[in-house]
Amino acid sequence: MKKFYLLFLVTLVAGILTACTEAASDLSAEKASSEQQDDKKEEKKDDEETKKEEKARDDEETLKEEKAEEEKSEEQDTPAQPFKALEPSKDAKPLNETLTEEELAKMPAAQAQGGDRTRNTPAGQTLIKGNVDKTDGPLKNNRIVAFYGHPQSTNMGILGEMEPDALMAKLKEQTQEYSNVDPTRPAIPMIELIATVAQRNPGGNGKYYHVTSEKDIQKYADLAKENNALLMLDVQLGQDTPLHQVKLLEKWLKLPYVHLAIDPEFHVTDGQTPGLDLGQVDGKEVQEAVEYVSDLVEENNLPPKIVVVHQFMDKMITNKKAIKPADNVQVVLNFDGHGPSASKMSLYGKFVRNESVQYGGFKVFYKKEKPVLTPEEILKLDPNPAIINYQ
């Protein structure tokens, strides 16, 4: 009996141990299976994360490539500037090295006329303080030196006093002086040709002006192009509007190297005569011309243009605040009076510095002014003239 009991106990224990072993084995198998499933989930998650990162990198590379292509396309679409500035001489020094500390800080005493001499715009800078230039036009990094006149008149400026090739040679010589005086802003030669001439009789159009012949305009357009220079067409208006005169010259203004100047001196109304009565123009009319030229640039994929407005007396321009630069146009207020240098400097301060538009211009008269101001003297003005034209 005892043997039987012992045999039963042994059998029972063996059964229990076997059951425990099988249970443990089943648990281990389940755990292993669960761990395998977790590992697979982690692997799948890692794969998904890797794919996301790879896609993000691919998207970023694609965006970079598209941006590069877009920038390349814009560069190809941007018209090249049709001029070549004259390089300064190797020994030329910038204004901040040639001007004295006083000259760097203060405008010439003649310009201040006893008032505060503190500069409004840093010496050498042409963009007048408080103004912006969103274009890449010629005046952004350069200065312009122009010779003014009419090819059929020796009384209207140097342009009509010399043969074209001799004129260009002298113009380049004068331009080079400015590149040498301020090498940080190399100068560009420009021909300023009177394209509509005011006259004292009504003429065929009844508007007291006549248009310069296409042959003459073409001759000087070719001269400018051949010499990597610029051409500016000056309108004297008579009884016409600035906008209509711009339209008269549209053929030429579609050339990339041709710009515009408006002369209010000869813009008269009914009962007045150009040359006898001092003319006047409303700033709104000037701005219409500026906007039209800006649109012309946009529509014809041209490089930015310049519009110059001449002034030497207050009443020549009314509503002056209406004149502003445009998206594709740089605007210059050009003081073009003649007389003693001290008076000219003072009036430049009044019309250009104190009533700024964007850039300033300064005219020099070879015959009417003795002595003629030198480039060194002119580039001490506040602000620095962006255009200096010689008549």
**Ordered alpha helix ranges (H), the chain:** 2-77, 95-98, 101-105, 109-112, 164-181, 214-226, 242-248, 250-253, 283-299, 341-348, 375-378
Distance CA 187, CA 87 (A): 8
In residues, how long is the chain? 391
pLDDT, tens only, 244-263: 999 999 999 999 999 999 99
pLDDT, tens only, 296-326: 999 999 999 999 999 999 999 999 999 999 9
pLDDT, tens only, 181-205: 999 999 999 999 999 999 999 988 8
Distance CA 230, CA 84 (A): 9
Mean pLDDT of 264-275: 90
Query: 268 near 236, Cβ under 8 Å?
Result: no
- Assess whether pLDDT exceeds 60 at residue 229: yes
More confident residue, 149 or 34: 149
- Assess whether pLDDT exceeds 90 at residue 352: yes
- Assess whether pLDDT exceeds 50 at residue 53: yes
Mean pLDDT of 91-118: 94
Give this prediction's pTM.
0.79
Complete domains list, the chain, with CATH: 95-390 (3.20.20)
Distance CA 112, CA 262 (A): 28
pLDDT, tens only, 135-153: 999 999 999 999 999 999 9
